[in-house]
Structure 1
């Protein structure tokens, strides 16, 4: 039996450009023991496997090409949007890290998270956007690395790139967990342009950080 994989792009710009591809699979189509192999075969930075009973709650597990994650931003934002588009508007998404609160505001989907759920990132703050854009992914061989600079500090706008060889990801186009982490690190909400031009939005309220962005539908793959 073929497995259906819905593909969306998460954290697009306001014209629907860029964004990080995400594979979405119904959990009952793939045995838990086979999910890592499928995520590796698909090659997306993350693939999410979900269960929903049609109520306001859903459950999901998240895999990179190399490992399962307790939390990640672009799969939780993207899946929440996809479920809403398919008639299930959830307000809670359960992942191994915790229950996430979900809300929708126009074309932006928001999830609520804590920085402690993100992996540890090595911070590389540089002085110019040109330095961010000139960073060579091959210079990182392990760990999780976040290269960034201010675009406009007064406007809370930054430019960034993220590299995670340990996850099987040379470079991630848009990284929600890193956005949560840098928001906590800076102590304020930010607008982030990451990768080629993806846009991530955050707000901060005490220990809670909201992560938001736009999502657009892509193709469907059968494996």
Structure 2
């Protein structure tokens, strides 16, 4: 079995929750795209990262069923693990920095892919939502405190791959931040936390806590 690490990204303040991420630190042991896709499907995480050059931060990202040019929580996790100033993804260069307990990346909304952002009237309404049938990728959200930028959200990938709800979704948070044009403090899933902030020239910062699970 190929060696891999498991991180939890966008953890709560107590280190709990967060979205699990598989990271194969030595991507050369799984060089072919088909092999990587098969391993990502076998591991079953919402995303798995293959590190092709740890010093330059070159990474390759897969869901159980597809290869992604960019994804938020894999980049935040890889930035923390590799401790580099930049990641190189298929979408383009991703700025990275560490700030105390938070790992941050800087990316563009157009890299996020197709997501449906659906606003609800209250956090309680978002909490009560059933998992929708397979179909579009839906980010359900509502203001918890609009003045403070606090958001309650849940992410439903709509994929028939076994990942029915994402615990924390950086790409959807990126799109929501770009749409609203303001910094957000997002509570997603069962207890994860995502921080965001719009930057000049269409960039958005996404930050969160990362822990090494195993």
Residue number among 212, 215, 219 corresponding to 2:210 in the alignment = 215
The count of aligned residue pairs is 210
1:167 is displaced (CA, Å) by: 7.2
Residue 28 of structure 1 corresponds to: 28
Residue 161 of structure 1 corresponds to: 154
* Aligned 8 A contact 1:163 1:172 in 2: yes
Unaligned runs of 5+ in 2: none
TM-score, normalization by structure 1: 0.91
Asked if 1:146 corresponds to 2:145, the answer is: no
Map 1:80-91; keep pairs closer than 5 Å. 80-83=79-82, 89-91=83-85
Residue 53 of structure 2 corresponds to: 52
Residue number among 184, 189, 193 corresponding to 1:190 in the alignment = 184
Task: Detail structure 1 runs of 4+ shifted over 3 Å in the superposition.
Answer: none
Say which SS state the counterpart of residue 23 (structure 2) adopts. strand
* Separation in structure 2 between the aligned mates of residue 61 and residue 174 of structure 1, nearest angstrom: 19
Unaligned runs of 5+ in 1: 84-88
TM-score, normalization by structure 2: 0.95
Residue 86 of structure 1 corresponds to: none
1:165 is displaced (CA, Å) by: 2.1
Asked if 1:175 corresponds to 2:175, the answer is: no
